[in-house]
Amino acid sequence: MKLSSLVGSTISGLLLVLVLALMAVEALPPSPASSESKSALSVSTPVAMASAAVSDTGLENESDNTPIRGANIGGVFLIEPFIKPSLFDQFLSRDKADIPVDEWTFSAALGKVEAKRQLEEHWDTFVTRDHLETMAESGVNWIRIPIGYWAFNLTDDEPYVDGQLPYIQRVLEWSRDIGLKVELDLHGAPGSQNGYDNSGRRGVPEWLHSRINVDRTLDALTKMTKIAVEWSDVVYGIQILNEPSRWKWEVKDIFAFYNEAYDLVRSIAPDVWFMIHDTFLSPNEWPTLVAPRWTQALMDTHIYQMFDNYMVTMNETTHIDMVAKMAEDVTKFDKSNIGVVVGEFSAATHDCTKYINGLGRGSRWEGTLEGVADHPLCPFATCSCTGDYGSNYTEYSEHYKSFLRSYIDAQLAIYDQELAGWFFWNFRTEGAPEWDYILGVEQGWIPSFPRTAMPKIEESSVVVFDDAQTTHATTSNAGESQYQFIKSTRGIAVNLGMAVAIAYSMLLPF
């Protein structure tokens, strides 16, 4: 046998072994994260896939498996007392019955001229380009902008004032420049869809009692969707209505509105993400809110642990454990139906925050919440809204700040890696530290993400946050070891293959 034939046979055998080795490596079972989760390691989120289809968003180095990482621009174009108490504290010298508690009564108390003057100053200053840039630097890639219907559809007999649209468009311009995607959220409907101050009008909701209210809601939604079309390179999602109350309305009637709104939005913007709220139903009931014919749809759920008499009495460990329990059915729905976005969550586990339950209503923590708690509800022998549970974050203990970080980490481990993404509530506040995203990042209990997508499996299996000594593991230890083995074996195989190929080519006749 000639030497070249012998070498050729040997190399052919080596190549066969190499191929078999690579096949064996590829056949290894996937790590737990890549087989079970919708993490950025292996599965593209619905929103991420849409992002990949549009190349002019301005976001740098984002791939098709970057989840929504967002913050709400709440309390700006629909004011809430707890976000900016100073707007409402100007009335505290009045009799209790005359103190405004929402935007409706705020505007009525001041009159349209003065209300517009104060609100224009608020719109102009409370959210700035610097705020958006700061959040983008920490890894935020989306913002959610809550808007009241009166920005689009206002009657003379309503005390609200309009004029928000130029300021909203300015935020869209900033977002375009910075590279942020935007969800426009109809946060308040005519008659109020839930009776909360976050709808613009606290009290008895009247929204679905009148077809006129529904038609006005759809009119506002039409105008909001047209903005999405005009700013199609910036606005990627439309939330048709925030938190309509299942306790007030029949679920079938809410679904009927959702279906009607879907047809309207799709007639104007065929490709924008159509986002609905879960109406406070449990996840196993969410399919009743979704039509199979819908495309590009996402479920918005809001997950909090302080608006419940039992949860505010839980200790810190239980709060962290509760995160996974509350999200278990949510992730199941996300995997079996439309994707899920946690549109609101925070670092708070108590209701001490000023006006968080509504202006003048007190707290469960100290037993002063009217009609709910006649004695303190907290995990301690005595309850006080001071120190760790007060409004001055400089008084927080190191232990409490460590807990806040662990609590946020527990939430993001699921919302960021198992679901389509998240929006923290809120981007900033006037004196509610656990609800303030920018402050939380600055103080270290909210992690910064890299500006790019989460690392893929061939790059890294953990994400290290710049502002912490800990890491978010995206696979188990076993998965990490397996990944490292696969990576090493692939490297050896590739290098061996190159060497064999070079040697073989040297023996070939030319």
Residue 20 CB neighbours (<10 A): 10
Instruction: Assess contact for 47 and 421: CB atoms under 8 A.
Output: yes
Q: Would you say 69 and 449 are in contact if contact means Cβ atoms under 8 Å apart?
A: yes
Catalytic residue among 243, 366, 418, 434, which?
243
DSSP secondary structure string for all residues of 270-335? TTSEEEEE-TT--GGGGGGG--TT--SEEEEEE--SSSSTTGGG--HHHHHHHHHHHHHHHHHHHH
> What sign does the CA torsion over 449, 452, 456, 458 have?
negative
Answer for the pair 304, 351: CB distance below 8 angstroms, yes or no: no
Q: How far apart are CA 109 and CA 431, in angstroms?
A: 24
Helices 211-230 and 251-268: crossing angle, nearest 10°?
Answer: 30
Query: What is the identity of the amino acid at 195?
Result: G
Which amino acid is present at 405? R
What does DSSP assign to residue 394? G
Of 80, 183, 344, 418, which residue is the catalytic one? 344
DSSP string, 155-176: -TTS------HHHHHHHHHHHH
The DSSP call for residue 388 is: G
Which residues on adjacent β-strands are paired with residue 276?
Answer: 299
Decide if 103 is catalytic: no
Phi, psi of 117 (to 5 degrees): -60, -50
CA quadruple 50, 455, 424, 136: dihedral sign: negative
| CB neighbour list of residue 334: distance below 8 Å, 6 or more residues apart | 38, 299, 340, 418, 419, 420
Q: Dihedral sign for Cα 207, 210, 211, 215, please.
A: negative
Q: Is-catalytic flag, 285?
A: no
Rounded Cα distance between 84 and 81, Å, is: 6
Residues tagged active-site: 243, 344
